[in-house]
């Protein structure tokens, strides 16, 4: 049985050939897909789709500019942003879902256009410098390598980062060759890696399904991932590691399906190198890669694909061994880094089993429209995945790689359980979406293409395409609305108290840079959550968590002094704007779990002016830095 991306316009009276048995270790058949009459198909050329997407980038970036000019809260600026996104997404989605013939080049072009357009919008959000928290922390690791010429230097904001230096090593090498600033080099590395990952994922889907159309639709589904256009395209170590993961998976498939021993050997070597590169770049991505290879090995044993089981199984063993050696000898701190997450997950599961409250965060604070989009997207994927399983059972049950994808898509339901049943479930589910959506997208893509092509009555075929396109837009807009940045800083704008990107401004950057030049690196700082990453990034300081007690009392009591000594707090940074509004992120200080119901009184923030032995080192008008090391408290 072969793939047909476009059937004749008129039914043929000729008898169809009987399906032949296919060697599933060499290729993956896809079900034949009749197409609609040409009159019902979209005639929009790919070149026009590209121009419309470029216009969308212009409109959405203009909305960003309006936000920076002080119109972030204006409804017209918000509408302009969503209009721009619609211009980027709708034509590409409609063209990929259309049953009018697309050449492989057209499909690949649409995938690239969609990816590049969304990355350009990410850059346009903060075109002058890094503002996303994780990017600031990796910026520090890169600067440390450039300053010292050594790997594994200390990063107080993200201590685990220097132990996985793949991103920073590649960036510092580019800087050394070109002389570019860290920001520009970081954008190049992150953008290239992001595009490479999507292209490799598209090639993997195409190799498995033997249809560029199915692969294009699967990439469209993957574009709904809430983290794709934020965390997975930032200057962070996961972005580069995902490109290596994509290369490792594709090379593993070619290793198992190569036609000659020499070809298989070459792809095996490439797969091993990609595995090593993933291991030294990002911990979670390397674990997911090892798990994926093990899953393919299991599926190969189930389908009796012995060569695939042998080849991929060997690569899985190599990946597990590489991860183990790296963690033991280079990054032993990885275990302690993940301990709080594992303990919180275990506590949540235990609470659910005992009938208690899991403590899972509520999402009720999000706008109603965001909640509706999220519910609709969850329902759509939850329906599409079982429909995709039926297609796998019907057409691909002997194919080890697609069977592995079907088994991997069970992770969707695990992620749903995490979302509603564990503390921080929303964040955990969001972080795992990057990997869960890889198998889910192919399985959902198989379901989508069958639904579009299986209209029983000819006149309903165009309606089926319209419904599929509308549903896909709901998924895509959900990924944007409930991804990152959060809804309250969807557009850049004026300073927000205890926020994220909108807490990064010239005053905060200048303060952080002053701490490094005047105090040196490694100072133990108490600070609010807004300037926390800047102190770690630009300031190379060691900001602390759970320091809210220093800010919520009108007097500096002996109990507070004792707690500060226990944490070895050296400096206290006070942003007096904390007395003017509630925290945009929900809490004022890192580590806090309780949202305040009123701003901090100004007397609580200025009490350090009245404490003997405390000196004021810095004052920008809004931000004050106190030296707490000489504090004296009356008994």
Q: Is the pLDDT of residue 459 over 80?
A: no
Q: Is the pLDDT of residue 6 over 50?
A: no
Q: Which two tokens stand for residue 79?
A: 């509408």
Q: Is 95 exposed, middle or buried (0-12, 13-18, 19+ CB in 10 A)?
A: buried
pLDDT at 445: 94
Q: Give per-residue pLDDT as tens, 270-302.
A: 999 999 999 999 999 999 999 999 999 999 999
pLDDT at 338: 86
Q: Is the pLDDT of residue 563 over 70?
A: yes
Q: For the ranges 265-279, 532-546, 581-595, which has the lowest average pLDDT? A: 581-595
Instruction: Give the pLDDT band of residue 457 (cuts 50, 70, 90).
Output: very low
Query: Pseudo-torsion of CA 415, 417, 420, 425, nearest 10°?
Result: -40
pLDDT at 40: 33
Instruction: Give the pLDDT band of residue 531 (cuts 50, 70, 90).
Output: very high
Query: Pseudo-torsion of CA 519, 525, 527, 529, nearest 10°?
Result: 110
8 A C-beta contact, residue 632 and residue 581: no
Q: Is the pLDDT of residue 8 over 60?
A: no
pLDDT at 258: 87
pLDDT at 465: 74
- Bigger pLDDT: 446 vs 10: 446
Cβ-proximal residues to 305 (8 Å cutoff; 6+ apart), any chain: 24, 25, 256, 400
pLDDT at 252: 97
Q: Is the pLDDT of residue 16 over 90?
A: no
Q: Is the pLDDT of residue 208 over 70?
A: yes
In whole angstroms, what is the distance from residue 462 CA to residue 41 CA? Answer: 8
615-619 and 524-526 beta bridge pairing: unpaired
HSE-up of 523 (CA within 13 Å, CB side)?
A: 27
- The predicted model scores a pTM of 0.89
pLDDT at 365: 62
What average pLDDT does range 141-166 have in this prediction?
94
Instruction: Give the pLDDT band of residue 454 (cuts 50, 70, 90).
Output: low
Q: Which two tokens stand for residue 163?
A: 């132990």
pLDDT at 342: 74
- Domain limits of the chain? 38-171+180-239+366-489, 501-627
Q: What are phi and psi of 543, to 5 degrees?
A: -70, 145
CA 358 to chain centre: 25
8 A C-beta contact, residue 7 and residue 35: yes
pLDDT at 33: 37
Beta bridge partners of 618: 625
Instruction: Give the pLDDT band of residue 3 (cuts 50, 70, 90).
Output: very low
The verdict on whether omega for the bond into residue 485 sits within 30 degrees of 0, i.e. cis, is yes
What average pLDDT does range 500-520 have in this prediction?
95
Own/partner contacts of 464-470, CB < 8 Å, gap of 24 or more, are 465/36, 465/40, 465/97, 465/98, 465/99, 468/97, 469/90, 469/93, 469/94, 469/97
Map residue 61 onto helix, strand or coil.
helix
8 A C-beta contact, residue 278 and residue 293: no
Q: Is the pLDDT of residue 425 over 70?
A: no
């Amino acid at each position: 049985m072969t793939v047909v991306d476009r059937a004749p316009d008129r039914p043929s009276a000729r008898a169809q050939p009987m399906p032949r048995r296919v060697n599933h270790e060499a290729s993956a058949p896809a079900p034949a897909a009749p197409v609609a009459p040409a009159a019902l198909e979209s005639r929009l050329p790919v070149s026009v789709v590209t121009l419309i997407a470029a216009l969308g980038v212009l409109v959405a970036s203009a909305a960003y500019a309006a936000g920076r000019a002080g119109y972030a809260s204006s409804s017209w600026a918000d509408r302009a942003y969503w209009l721009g996104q619609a211009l980027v997404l709708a034509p590409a989605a409609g063209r990929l879902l259309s049953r009018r013939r697309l050449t492989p080049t057209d499909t690949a072009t649409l995938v690239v256009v969609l990816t590049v357009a969304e990355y350009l919008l990410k850059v346009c959000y903060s075109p002058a410098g890094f503002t996303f928290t994780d990017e600031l922390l990796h910026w520090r690791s890169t600067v440390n390598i450039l300053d010292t010429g050594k790997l594994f230097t200390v990063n107080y904001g993200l201590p685990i980062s220097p132990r996985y230096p793949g991103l920073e090593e590649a960036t510092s090498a580019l800087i050394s060759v070109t002389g570019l600033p860290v920001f520009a080099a970081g954008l190049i590395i992150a953008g290239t890696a992001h595009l490479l990952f999507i292209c490799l994922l598209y090639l993997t889907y195409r190799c498995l399904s033997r249809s560029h159309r199915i692969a294009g639709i699967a990439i469209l589904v993957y574009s709904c991932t809430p983290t794709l256009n934020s965390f997975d395209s930032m200057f962070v170590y996961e972005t580069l590691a995902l490109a290596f993961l994509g290369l490792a998976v594709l090379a593993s498939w070619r290793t198992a399906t190569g036609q000659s021993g020499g070809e298989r050997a070459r792809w095996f070597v490439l797969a091993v190198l990609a595995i090593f590169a993933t291991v030294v770049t990002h911990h979670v991505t390397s674990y997911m890669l090892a798990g994926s290879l093990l899953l393919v090995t299991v599926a190969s044993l189930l389908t009796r694909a012995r060569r695939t089981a042998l080849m991929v199984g060997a690569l899985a063993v190599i990946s597990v061994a590489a991860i183990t050696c790296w963690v033991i000898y280079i990054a032993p701190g990885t275990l302690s880094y993940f301990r709080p997450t594992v303990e919180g997950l275990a506590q949540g599961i235990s609470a659910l089993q005992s009938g208690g409250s899991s403590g899972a965060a509520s999402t009720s604070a999000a706008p109603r429209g965001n909640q509706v989009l999220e519910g609709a997207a969850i329902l759509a994927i939850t329906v599409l995945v079982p429909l995709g399983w039926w297609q796998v059972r019907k057409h691909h049950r002997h194919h080890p790689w697609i069977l592995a994808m079907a088994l991997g898509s069970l992770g969707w339901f695990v992620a749903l359980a995490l979302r509603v049943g564990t503390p921080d479930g929303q964040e955990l589910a969001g972080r795992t979406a990057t990997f869960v959506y890889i198998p889910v997208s192919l399985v959902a893509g198989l379901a989508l293409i069958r639904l579009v092509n299986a209209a029983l009555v000819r006149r309903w075929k165009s309606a089926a395409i319209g419904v599929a396109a509308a549903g896909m837009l709901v998924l895509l807009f959900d990924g944007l609305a409930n991804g990152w940045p959060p809804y309250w800083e969807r557009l850049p704008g004026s300073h927000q108290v205890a926020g994220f990107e909108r807490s990064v401004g010239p005053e905060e950057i200048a303060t952080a840079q002053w701490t490094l030049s005047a105090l040196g690196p490694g100072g133990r700082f108490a600070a609010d959550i807004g300037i926390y990453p800047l102190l770690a990034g630009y300031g190379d300081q060691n900001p602390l968590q759970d320091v809210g007690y220093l800010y919520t009392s009108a007097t500096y009591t002996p109990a507070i002094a004792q707690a500060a000594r226990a944490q070895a707090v050296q400096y206290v940074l006070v942003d007096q704007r904390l007395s003017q509004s509630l925290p945009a992120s929900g809490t004022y200080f890192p580590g806090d779990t309780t949202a305040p119901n009123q701003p901090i009184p100004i007397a609580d923030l200025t009490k350090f002016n009245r404490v003997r032995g405390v000196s004021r080192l810095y004052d920008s008008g809004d931000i004050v830095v106190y030296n707490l090391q000489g504090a004296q408290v009356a008994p």
